[in-house]
Amino acid sequence: MSSVQEKIQSLRAELELYNYNYYVLSSPTVSDKEFDDKLKELQELEELHPEYYDPYSPTQRVGSDISKEFTQVEHQYPMLSLGNTYSEEDVKDFYERTAKSLNEPFEIVAELKYDGLSISLIYENGKLIRAVTRGDGIRGDDVTTNVKTIRSIPLRLHGNNFPEKFEIRGEILLPWSEFDRLNREREEQEEPLFANPRNAASGTLKQQNPAIVASRHLDAYLYYVLGEELPSDTHYGNLEAARQWGFKIPDVIRICHSLQDVYDYIAYWDEARKNLQVATDGIVLKVNSLRQQKNLGFTSKSPRWAIAYKFQAERAVTRLNSVSFQVGRTGTVTPVANLEPVLLAGTVVKRASLHNADIIEKLDLHIGDNVFVEKGGEIIPKIVGVDFDSRGILVGEKVRFVNKCPECGTELVRTEGEAAFYCPNENGCPPQIKGKIEHFVTRRAMDINIGPETVEDLYEAGFVKNVADLYELRITDLLSLERWAEKSARNLMESLRKSLNVPFERVLFALGIRYVGETVAKRLARAFQSMEKLEQATFEELVSVDEIGERIARSVIDYFTEPRNKELVSRLKKYGLQMSLPEDALQGQSEVLKGLVFVISGTFSKHSRDEYKEMIERYGGKNTGSVSGKTNFILAGENMGPSKLEKATKLGVKIINEEEFLRMIEERV
């Protein structure tokens, strides 16, 4: 073995141990910097020596940009759902039914029921081979590439006393801290918030880009081992063995020897769960002995040897004092209930979302009503009903959605098919103006080093009334404000100077055009190549771009039809912002595929799916996600989706492989 290979293997072993200590044992043994330095060193060595490539290397956890459709995989053991109960009486019935069926002593293993996405992990010879979602219980999606980015899931097991092949099941979770961070980012962009960590985890694991999955720091708790040659004849014993192999097995699992033990466990965790780092929604009870499990068997839908006890949703009753209406960056008006403070799920709740006019009408709210507020699995408190029995004759007026903007008085509008009302006065409504500036300076947009408080100060002082005014700021302007020193003023000026190098697609995103998020901005930038061409684009040209629908197209046209927006863009161009794609990005672009519609399906060897999509768009073609009568070609790789193949055959759509596609481009160019 060469010294380079030895070094690579040594680094891999070190990093695997650091990962295990940090993500499974929660006992880091090195600093983040030391870990990152070693990971970078390993990455550089692997790039220089591809002959030592290993799919189980710690460097493979970061997630590449290669994406692929998920293929369906049948479970060796069906993933059945558990019977649910919400009462201790039902738990007693389960316990007594089990005792009667077995007619011998038994133990119950009590576990927390984690509120995430069920996952099945297959290991062979100590290596992760496949990860499959629950799906319909019979088959699920193969999400192995994404699961490999989750650092608490071992790619290679510890020791050598594990079965040659086995399956371990558990839950993919998004910790509360990461959930809060994601929702803060989405709130900044006025994107819909994730309702709860479960939805966020599920949506994350189904991302087509593993790099996005890696960035969201999912976690995994494992709780069930299956296989032919397991080390123990008890459920608890197999979990303890799995812990030694490197799996993150919850340390809250307990063996109960009596019904009272079960009740005590439920009572404790009904309160203590509020302090956990991840969401839970109940308790799972399982017969410990595998022999006894086998004897008890299954119903058509669930095992007879297990049951789930669900916690009641956190609910409180409090008085509705008033309803206020907030205006966001894009003009969306959101109603917020102001409540008499009440303790709910460990925090004092003073406000709750009412979402939109339809929900207000459905609830039949009146000021002074006693309302039911729930948190449950939701991080954002919401009003779920009114205590009509307590409504007296002195109750206040009925809550109605406002018809004028509470900030600028403009008549609100509501787009057909949408729930929200919004203020159309985007250039004259203070919250929208300040919101646009705050959006413009964010890290994912222009990355200018100021926050909301500074934006507020600059706006109130009259120095900045739109984003273009930022580039006319002078150091003397900043020094005239409170809390500003020369160093911080110069830092801002330097940040503004650096923002002139931000690429065109981010400049487009920074403008804050309604419905134009990061992904849409990239597609528009690639399709039209410059701000000038985008300004002149017709409705038909816009909707011909992949994933640009009528709503987005109309919004873009409306934006550039407004004279003040055109003037703003003109000023930004004058100050030196990037208003087109660079020459190297334009090289090789042509119209050889113009008018042709492609669907990509399967996995490829020469290029990634994203690269093929980019090629199709670069050469003037259009990508779509589904096969229709308008589809000209299906670019098919391995494991092409069976439904796409069936539809293509039915419609007579031509199927080509990647060699034929690349030859098509070469011949036409």
**Tokens found for residue 536:** 């002149």
Q: What is the DSSP letter of 606?
A: S
Q: Measure Cα distances from 179 to 153, 212, 274, 390 in Å.
A: 19, 14, 15, 36
Bridge partners, 308 (sequence order)? 84, 284
Cα–Cα distance measured from residue 520 to residue 189, given in angstroms and rounded to the nearest whole number? 13
Is residue 580 classed as helix, strand or coil in its secondary structure?
A: strand
Q: Check if the beta carbon of residue 546 is closer than 8 Å to that of residue 622.
A: yes
Instruction: To the nearest 10°, report the CA torsion of 569, 572, 577, 583.
Output: 40
Helix axes 32-48, 3-19, angle to 10 degrees: 140
Q: Check if the beta carbon of residue 74 is closer than 8 Å to that of residue 40.
A: no
Bridge partners, 344 (sequence order)? 347
Cα–Cα distance measured from residue 382 to residue 365, given in angstroms and rounded to the nearest whole number? 13
Q: What is the DSSP letter of 79?
A: -
Cα–Cα distance measured from residue 157 to residue 126, given in angstroms and rounded to the nearest whole number? 5
Longest Cα–Cα distance of the chain, Å, equals 88
Cα–Cα distance measured from residue 87 to residue 93, given in angstroms and rounded to the nearest whole number? 10
Instruction: To the nearest 10°, report the CA torsion of 219, 147, 135, 657.
Output: 160
Catalytic residue among 7, 33, 92, 113: 113
CA-nearest of 533, 525, 526, 538 to 615 is 526
Judge whether 113 counts as a catalytic residue: yes
Q: Check if the beta carbon of residue 65 is closer than 8 Å to that of residue 610.
A: yes
Cα–Cα distance measured from residue 535 to residue 253, given in angstroms and rounded to the nearest whole number? 61
**Alpha-helical regions (H) of 353-463:** 357-363, 430-441, 452-460
Residue 197 neighbours by CB distance under 10 Å: 28
**Tokens found for residue 227:** 């296989």
Q: Are strands 84-85 and 127-133 parallel, antiparallel or unpaired?
A: unpaired
What's the burial of 541, exposed, middle or buried (CB within 10 Å: 0-12/13-18/19+)?
Answer: middle
| Amino acid making up residue 196 | N
Helix axes 609-618, 518-528, angle to 10 degrees: 40
Cα–Cα distance measured from residue 484 to residue 492, given in angstroms and rounded to the nearest whole number? 11
**Alpha-helical regions (H) of 71-143:** 88-102
For 652: left if phi > 0, alpha if psi spans -120 to 50, otherwise beta; the answer is left
Q: Check if the beta carbon of residue 185 is closer than 8 Å to that of residue 200.
A: no
Angle at 568 between CA 566 and CA 570, to 5 degrees: 70
| Amino acid making up residue 545 | V
Q: Measure Cα distances from 403 to 301, 331, 406, 407, 426 in Å.
A: 51, 13, 9, 12, 16
Strands (E) located in 328-389? 333-344, 347-353, 370-374, 382-386
Catalytic residues: 113
